[in-house]
């Protein structure tokens, strides 16, 4: 498991919040939004990278 703290942890938190907000505001289906938000919250670093690559586009 990757442990993040300090400045990098804060930066990751800000990026996760940004990704969640953008996902909720997207035109994706409700199920798609729920899956992305759960993925972002359960696996923050990997989830954010996957969101950048495959997440809902606006």
Q: What is the pLDDT of residues 2-25, one digit of tens each?
A: 677 899 999 999 999 999 999 999
If one counts every other C-beta atom within 10 angstroms of the C-beta of residue 10, the result is: 11
Would the pTM count as exceeding 0.95? Answer: no
Average pLDDT over residues 42-57: 92
CA distance 3 to 20: 21
pLDDT band at 26 (very low <50, low <70, confident <90, very high): very high
């Amino acid at each position: 498991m990757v442990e993040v703290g300090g400045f990098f942890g804060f930066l990751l938190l800000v990026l996760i919040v940004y990704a969640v907000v953008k996902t909720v505001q997207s035109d994706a289906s409700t199920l798609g939004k729920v899956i992305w938000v759960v993925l972002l919250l359960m696996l923050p670093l990997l989830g954010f990278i996957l969101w950048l690559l495959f997440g809902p586009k606006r």
